[in-house]
């Protein structure tokens, strides 16, 4: 799980438009691919250079240009020049530390967000920096490595009947962001399940490892919030933008998406509170158990202490100790001890310690 903020010493003071990759390299290759479609036709292709992408741009179709691998400054420089995008934007594409945000530029909208994906095998959450650039004729998406997160969207494009085929670039943008948010909600939903299970185990039989779990879930939740909260701001901005690049009908979709992500925010707030409560409950149950332990020890000690003391008295070696010489002394002593012990037990029962 990534830390909340990360900056190395040599990154201080560098120019904001330096095309410098900042982050952990997750892929060596750069894969360029094009999906080009309108309501009638559809073309899917892996291309070898940025130049090749340019031909689609002039067409009257929706062009989705996807770049997997964001570490190659030459490719970025090419894109900057060919698509006439400010180098500032591409510098942000290459910086995995950029906060999720939507920025309007004169000729494009730049969207940065975190793509989270739950790995079914390892149970881990993979985080990836995703950049979307929306221009008049083309949608550019940048991922850190090859992945299948957007496969459902591609499938929808491949089916001719779907709304996505007859809509524009802005609707495609919405569909992609919608998929990312769906993943957030799915991950949150899995976390919620684990927190629920923990909650039940905790009350039945609290163990030290539960503290670990609470702590880990808190971290995971914090990590999720770090993606969800700025994404909310971003979607709000998209649903209110006056840019010509986003049509009114797509803004309605963004508004609905905003309600979805609010649901996620509310759920994450609730889980946070629940985890805090669980730590408190854990602590309280520990105290409750300590009370039980101490009651047990006290009852046991308090019953035997006086009995042992009595035995100790008759274990003394005084020459003149009259009780030692009566015939039934021993049995009387045993009887007295029994009465004492029973009296104690009754007292503790009255005190509700037993």
Site for its own copies in 107-126 (CB under 8 A): none
Q: Is 73 in the site for its own copies (CB under 8 A)?
A: no
Q: Nearest distance from residue 49's CB to its own copies, in Å?
A: 26
Give the nearer residue to its own copies in terms of CB position, either 53 or 94. Answer: 94
The residue with tokens 């400054």 is 73
Give the nearer residue to its own copies in terms of CB position, either 40 or 315. Answer: 315
Segment lying near its own copies (by CB under 8 A), choices 29-37, 43-51, 69-77, 301-309: 301-309
Q: Is 255 in the site for its own copies (CB under 8 A)?
A: yes
Pairing of strands 62-68, 138-143: parallel
H or E element that contains 69: none
Which of 273, 342, 346, 349 is the binder for its own copies (CB under 8 A)? 273
Q: Binding string to its own copies for residues 53 to 72, with x set by CB under 8 A, is what?
A: --------------------
Q: Is 320 in the site for its own copies (CB under 8 A)?
A: yes
* Count of Cβ atoms closer than 10 Å to residue 337 Cβ: 17
For residues 219 and 203, give the distance between their C-alpha atoms in angstroms, rounded to a whole number. 22
Q: Is 201 in the site for its own copies (CB under 8 A)?
A: no
| Interacting positions 31-50 with its own copies (CB under 8 A) | none
Q: Is 277 in the site for its own copies (CB under 8 A)?
A: yes
For residues 179 and 130, give the distance between their C-alpha atoms in angstroms, rounded to a whole number. 12
For residues 49 and 343, give the distance between their C-alpha atoms in angstroms, rounded to a whole number. 94
Q: Nearest distance from residue 206's CB to its own copies, in Å?
A: 8
Q: Is 168 in the site for its own copies (CB under 8 A)?
A: no
Which of 63, 80, 183, 250 is the binder for its own copies (CB under 8 A)? 183
Alpha-helical (H) ranges within 143-247 are 151-158, 163-166, 169-204, 208-240
Q: Is 266 in the site for its own copies (CB under 8 A)?
A: yes
Give the nearer residue to its own copies in terms of CB position, either 54 or 101. Answer: 101
Q: In what order do the strands lie in the sheet with 42-47?
A: 42-47, 31-37, 62-68, 138-143, 125-134, 108-118, 101-105
For residues 1 and 53, give the distance between their C-alpha atoms in angstroms, rounded to a whole number. 36
Q: Is 208 in the site for its own copies (CB under 8 A)?
A: yes
Q: Is 262 in the site for its own copies (CB under 8 A)?
A: yes
Q: Is 82 in the site for its own copies (CB under 8 A)?
A: no
End-to-end CA distance of the chain, in Å? 48
Which of 201, 240, 256, 345 is the binder for its own copies (CB under 8 A)? 256
For residues 130 and 145, give the distance between their C-alpha atoms in angstroms, rounded to a whole number. 10
| Interacting positions 5-24 with its own copies (CB under 8 A) | 5-9, 11-17
Three-state secondary-structure class, residue 72: coil
């Amino acid at each position: 799980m990534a830390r909340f903020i990360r900056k190395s010493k040599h990154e201080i003071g560098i120019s904001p438009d330096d095309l410098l990759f900042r982050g952990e390299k997750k892929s060596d290759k750069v894969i360029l691919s094009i999906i080009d479609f309108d309501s009638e036709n559809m073309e899917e292709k892996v291309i070898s250079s940025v130049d090749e992408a340019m031909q689609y741009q002039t067409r009257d179709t929706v062009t989705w240009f996807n770049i997997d691998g964001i570490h190659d400054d030459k490719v970025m420089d090419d894109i900057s020049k060919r698509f006439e995008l400010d180098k500032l934007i591409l510098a942000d594409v290459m910086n995995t530390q950029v906060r999720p945000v939507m920025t309007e530029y004169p000729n494009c909208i730049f969207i940065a967000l975190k793509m989270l994906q739950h790995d079914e095998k390892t149970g881990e959450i993979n985080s990836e920096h995703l950049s979307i650039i929306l221009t008049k004729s083309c949608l550019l998406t940048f991922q850190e490595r090859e992945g299948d997160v957007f496969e459902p969207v591609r499938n929808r494009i491949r089916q001719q009947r779907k709304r996505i085929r007859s809509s524009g670039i802005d609707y495609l943008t919405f569909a992609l962001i919608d998929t990312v948010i769906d993943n957030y909600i799915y991950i949150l939903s899995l976390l919620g399940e684990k927190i629920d299970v923990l909650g039940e185990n905790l009350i039945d039989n609290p163990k030290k490892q539960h503290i670990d779990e609470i702590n880990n879930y808190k971290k995971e939740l914090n990590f999720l919030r770090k993606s969800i909260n700025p994404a909310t701001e971003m979607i709000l901005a998209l649903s209110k933008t006056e840019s010509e690049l986003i049509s009114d009908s797509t803004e309605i979709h963004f508004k609905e998406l905003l309600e979805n992500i609010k649901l996620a925010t509310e759920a994450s707030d609730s889980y946070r509170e629940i985890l805090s409560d669980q730590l408190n409950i854990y602590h309280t149950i520990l105290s409750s158990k300590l009370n039980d332990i101490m009651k047990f020890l006290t009852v046991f000690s308090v019953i035997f202490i006086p009995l042992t003391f009595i035995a100790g008295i008759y274990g003394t070696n005084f020459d003149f100790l009259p009780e030692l010489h009566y015939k039934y002394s021993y049995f009387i002593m045993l009887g007295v001890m029994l009465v004492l012990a029973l009296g104690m037990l009754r007292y503790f029962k009255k005190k509700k310690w037993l």
